[in-house]
């Protein structure tokens, strides 16, 4: 609006300048006529006088027009200054809002009032839509004449509007699709497609099934993309967990090797001292005692060799480890078991980690099986009880509804050594908590 007033002011200014130029030209012409009149005869003088009077009237009219245009120009300048001031105020408000200094428009007291106001506004919008519908119905009382070109443009605009609405609905569904709602989103897109065709049918146009097919393909692709991203995320998380487990194993091996080396040095020093004492003159009883002690230390030193060989084996065989079967009835209830594996030298450390602050009670161990191929044994158990898996989406959650006797049978069928399986879950803290809870309830009841 300010820009329009500005151009109008410029136009008035140019027109005033043009009239002023015409005025000067007439004055020059008038002076020339007066000079000429002196030299003309009386008749010519009368004619010149008439023309001068006519030009004088015209000159007066031009002066009045110039005055009017100047007034208009002044009014436009005043309006322009007012609009410029409004623009400056608006720019200040916008700049403040861009710096998050939003000026509240409603000043309501609490969220409940905002909620009520929103509900009222939505109801008002519904009433407005109903009012528009009534207005549209009233159009039936009027005869409408439309050309072929206008009808063609109307159909094209209607097609664009419907396409916009369908694309907007489809984009929302594609953006919000998850593994759990893909069928619901398919239904929404299909319903939107059918409704759009229903609205377009009145104009004799419609979309083909290709439009719907492409949108559903995009939806399925977006769904599989989300699933694949989650799988990759889970795989990366599992890889990080395996890496951490491997680092802990290497740390345990280093610490175990240091312990073996320390004990070996201790045994070597003890053997040297015993052999030195044995080389001297001793009674038969003392020599026999020293020989027995040397034999005992030699056996302990041989056990260190076995431990070192086991460490070498665990370090070289990445698949060796323990498969564990544990439960936590206080957290997950009866009949739920976690079946997992660990490569740690001390598997109970891993079980203790699982029973940290993330669960209310410690886990009970039902089976702890060492295997040269622990991942294979774990995979067989997971496959056997897959129908009872609690989390059927994330395979890293290794909790299963299962019968412990069946778990024992699978382990025995796939493992040659004798396996000890504990069928009773002690759950000491859980059971003690139940007793304490009942005692507290009884005391509270007696006090009341």
Say if residues 368 and 321 touch (Cβ distance below 8 Å).
no
In a domain, 124, yes or no: no
Q: 17 lies in which domain range?
A: 2-98
Non-local CB neighbours of 111 within 8 Å, separated by 6+ positions: none
Say if residues 222 and 176 touch (Cβ distance below 8 Å).
no
pLDDT category, 12, cuts 50, 70, 90?
low
Are both 311 and 374 inside the same structural domain? no
Are both 328 and 359 inside the same structural domain? yes
- Say how many Å lie between the first and final Cα of the chain, rounded: 79
Model pLDDT, residue 187: 92
Are both 434 and 325 inside the same structural domain? yes
List, for residues 134-158, the tens digit of each pLDDT value.
Answer: 455 555 555 566 788 888 888 888 8
Task: Report pTM.
Answer: 0.51
Model pLDDT, residue 90: 56
Give yes or no for residue 59 having a pLDDT over 80: no
Are both 294 and 341 inside the same structural domain? no
> Structurally, how many domains does the chain consist of?
3
Give yes or no for residue 366 having a pLDDT over 90: yes
Find where tokens 């699978």 sit.
Answer: 410
For the chain, what is the radius of gyration of the CA atoms? 49
Are both 52 and 92 inside the same structural domain? yes
Are both 360 and 414 inside the same structural domain? yes
In a domain, 191, yes or no: no
Are both 372 and 406 inside the same structural domain? yes
Give yes or no for residue 3 having a pLDDT over 50: no
Are both 331 and 277 inside the same structural domain? no
Q: Is 326 helix (H, G, I), strand (E, B) or coil?
A: strand
In a domain, 71, yes or no: yes
Give yes or no for residue 96 having a pLDDT over 60: no
In a domain, 421, yes or no: yes
List, for residues 164-203, the tens digit of each pLDDT value.
Answer: 888 889 889 888 888 778 889 999 999 998 888 888 887 7
Sheet with 336-342: list strands edge to edge: 364-371, 321-327, 336-342, 399-401
Model pLDDT, residue 45: 60
Backbone angles phi, psi at 369, to 5 degrees: -115, 125
d(CA 243, CA 251) in angstroms, rounded, equals 12
List of E strands, 293-427: 321-327, 336-342, 364-371, 399-401
Model pLDDT, residue 99: 43
Model pLDDT, residue 251: 87
Q: What is the mean pLDDT of the chain?
A: 78
198 by Cβ neighbours in 10 Å (0-12 / 13-18 / 19+) ranks as exposed
Give yes or no for residue 133 having a pLDDT over 80: no
Q: How many CB atoms lie within 10 A of CB 153?
A: 12
Are both 345 and 410 inside the same structural domain? yes
pLDDT category, 231, cuts 50, 70, 90?
confident
Q: Where are the alpha helices (DSSP H) in 38-147?
A: 42-98, 111-138
Give yes or no for residue 290 having a pLDDT over 60: yes
Are both 365 and 310 inside the same structural domain? no
Query: Which of 296, 316, 336 is where one domain is finished?
Result: 316
Give yes or no for residue 308 having a pLDDT over 90: no
In a domain, 14, yes or no: yes
d(CA 285, CA 154) in angstroms, rounded, equals 121
List, for residues 381-425, the tens digit of each pLDDT value.
Answer: 999 999 999 888 777 889 999 999 999 888 888 876 678 888 888
In a domain, 13, yes or no: yes
Question: In the structure encoding, which two tokens stand for residue 280, read together?
Answer: 């001297």
Query: Which of 49, 80, 98 is where one domain is finished?
Result: 98
In a domain, 187, yes or no: no
Are both 333 and 305 inside the same structural domain? no
CA dist 114 → 101, 123, 124, 252, 313 (Å): 20, 14, 15, 60, 69
Q: Report, as an integer, the average pLDDT of 315-330.
A: 88
Query: Which of 293, 316, 339 is where one domain is finished?
Result: 316
Say if residues 116 and 42 touch (Cβ distance below 8 Å).
no
Model pLDDT, residue 8: 56
Least confident of 50-64, 237-251, 380-394, 405-419: 50-64
Question: In the structure encoding, which two tokens stand for residue 371, read together?
Answer: 């295997």
Are both 403 and 389 inside the same structural domain? yes
In a domain, 203, yes or no: no
Q: Report, as an integer, the average pLDDT of 38-51.
A: 63
């Amino acid at each position: 609006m300010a820009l329009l007033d500005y151009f109008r002011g410029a136009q008035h200014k140019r027109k005033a300048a043009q009239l002023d130029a015409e005025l000067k030209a007439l004055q020059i012409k008038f002076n020339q006529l007066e000079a000429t009149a002196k030299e003309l005869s009386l008749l010519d003088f009368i004619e010149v006088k008439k023309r001068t009077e006519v030009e004088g009237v015209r000159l007066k009219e031009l002066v009045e027009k110039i005055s009017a245009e100047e007034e208009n120009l002044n009014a436009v300048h005043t309006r322009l200054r007012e609009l410029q001031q409004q623009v400056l105020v608006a720019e200040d408000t916008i700049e403040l809002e861009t710096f998050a200094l939003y000026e509240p428009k409603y000043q309501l007291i609490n969220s409940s009032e905002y909620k009520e106001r929103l509900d009222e506004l939505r109801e008002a919008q519904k009433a407005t839509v109903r009012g528009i519908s009534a207005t549209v119905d009233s159009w039936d009382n009027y005869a409408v004449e439309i050309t072929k070109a206008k009808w063609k443009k109307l159909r094209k605009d209607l097609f664009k509007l419907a396409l916009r609405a369908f694309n907007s609905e489809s984009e929302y569904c594609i953006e919000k699709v998850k593994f759990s709602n893909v069928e619901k989103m398919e239904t929404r897109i299909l319903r939107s497609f059918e409704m759009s065709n229903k609205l377009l049918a009145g104009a004799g146009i419609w979309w083909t099934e290709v439009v719907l097919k492409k949108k559903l393909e995009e939806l399925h692709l977006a769904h599989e993309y989300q699933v694949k991203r989650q799988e990759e995320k889970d795989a990366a998380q599992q890889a990080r967990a395996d890496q951490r487990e491997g680092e802990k194993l290497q740390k345990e091996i280093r610490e175990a090797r240091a312990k073996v080396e320390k004990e070996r040095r201790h045994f070597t020093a003890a053997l040297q001292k015993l052999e030195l004492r044995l080389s001297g003159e001793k009674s038969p009883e003392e020599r026999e005692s020293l020989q027995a002690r040397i034999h005992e230390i030699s056996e302990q030193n041989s056990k260190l060799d076995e431990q070192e060989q086991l460490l070498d084996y665990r370090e070289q065989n990445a698949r060796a480890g323990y498969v564990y079967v544990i439960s936590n009835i206080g957290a997950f209830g009866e009949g739920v078991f976690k079946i997992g594996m660990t490569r740690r030298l001390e598997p109970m450390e891993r079980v203790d980690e699982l029973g940290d602050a993330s669960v209310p009670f410690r886990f009970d161990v039902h089976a702890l099986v060492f295997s040269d191929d622990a991942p294979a044994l774990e995979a067989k158990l997971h496959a056997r009880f897959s129908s009872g898996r609690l989390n059927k989406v994330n395979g890293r959650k290794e909790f299963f509804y299962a019968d412990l006797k069946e778990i024992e049978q699978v382990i025995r069928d796939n493992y040659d050594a004798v396996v000890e399986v504990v069928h009773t879950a002690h759950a000491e803290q859980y059971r003690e908590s139940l007793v304490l809870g009942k005692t507290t309830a009884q005391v509270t009841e007696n006090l009341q």
